[in-house]
Amino acid sequence: MTFSLLIGNKAYSSWSLRPWLLLKQFGIPFEETLVPLYGPESKEKLLAFSPAGKAPALRCDDSLVWDSLAIVEFVAERYPDLAIWPRDPAARALARSLAAEMHSGFTAMRGEFPTNFRRPPRPVGAPSPAAAADIARIDAAWRDARARFGSEGLFLFGAFSAADAMFAPVVCRFSTYVLDVSTQAQDYMRAIETLPAYREWVESGRAEPWVLEKFEQ
Ligand SMILES: N[C@@H](CCC(=O)N[C@@H](CS)C(=O)NCC(=O)O)C(=O)O
């Protein structure tokens, strides 16, 4: 089984970080293909890999899967011996709900605070009421998961799981724009930010030559 993962710029592609971090954290070998996004030839290159024309996408033998959440599920299915989702059914139900909530929501926060892994931390002003509500909801969700299922480790469900991979880009947004979150959320953010694989992603993003103005604030 050989995994080949399509990703976008490490400086900006929040969706790409999710499966990349998951594979790294679980020690699953993969090859990566990076397509710099929003350039003259980007779409053609993305479409050559996946009909959705977006990163991330994953090829494995005869299968092609795209969209970060679908990729996470595919990897979990291929590696049933790894606790990619928490083993406990109640924890797993919450982990899947949070991953889906993250995947489909928080659009105000996302729009106001674009992911930029190489931007030095600096505030940009107060969030709108809608973005502030998104931030408060994420903070509460993290605290709830940690309080109910996180006692055995530093992550949402104790050990690192798919739920953490889904939220990792938000950690970057919260840090980069110095958003106001609880001390429990800050502790959780530190756990993500000190992961060697997360550091590797950030360092690679810093070294990239491409600058996309729409993600620079
Ligand atoms: N919901 C998708 C979103 C994928 C997505 O929007 N990817 C962006 C990069 S972060 C992309 O490929 N943009 C390039 C384009 O649309 O041309 C996922 O979770 O994978």
Choose which residue among 54, 117, 167, 201 to substitute to test ligand 1 binding: the one with the highest number of ligand atoms within 8 A of its C-beta. Answer: 54
pLDDT at residue number 146: 98
Q: Domains in the chain, start-ordered, CATH in brackets?
A: 3-81 (3.40.30.10), 89-199 (1.20.1050.10)
Nearest CA to ligand 1 atom 18: 67
Measured in Å, residue 9 CA sits from the centre of ligand 1 at 11
Measured in Å, residue 71 CA sits from the centre of ligand 1 at 13
Give every residue of the chain whose pLDDT is below 50, as ranges: none
pLDDT at residue number 143: 98
Nearest CA to ligand 1 atom 1: 67
Nearest CA to ligand 1 atom 11: 54
Measured in Å, residue 54 CA sits from the centre of ligand 1 at 4
The secondary structure element, H or E, covering residue 43 is: helix 42-49
User: Ligand 1: residues within 6 Å at CB?
Assistant: 8, 13-16, 37, 42-43, 53-56, 67-69
pLDDT at residue number 1: 85
Strands 3-7 and 63-66: what pairing? unpaired
pLDDT at residue number 81: 98
- Closest ligand 1 atom to the C-alpha of 14? 10
Q: Are 11 and 117 in contact (CB under 8 A)?
A: yes
pLDDT at residue number 122: 96
Measured in Å, residue 78 CA sits from the centre of ligand 1 at 23
Measured in Å, residue 179 CA sits from the centre of ligand 1 at 24
Nearest CA to ligand 1 atom 2: 67
Nearest CA to ligand 1 atom 14: 54
Cis? peptide before 123, omega within 30° of 0: no
99-103 own/partner pairs: CB under 8 Å, 24+ apart: 99/69, 99/72, 99/162, 99/163, 99/166, 100/69, 101/141, 102/138, 102/166, 102/167, 102/170, 103/68, 103/69, 103/166
pTM of the entire predicted model: 0.97
Choose which residue among 13, 15, 68, 110 to substitute to test ligand 1 binding: the one with the highest number of ligand atoms within 8 A of its C-beta. Answer: 15
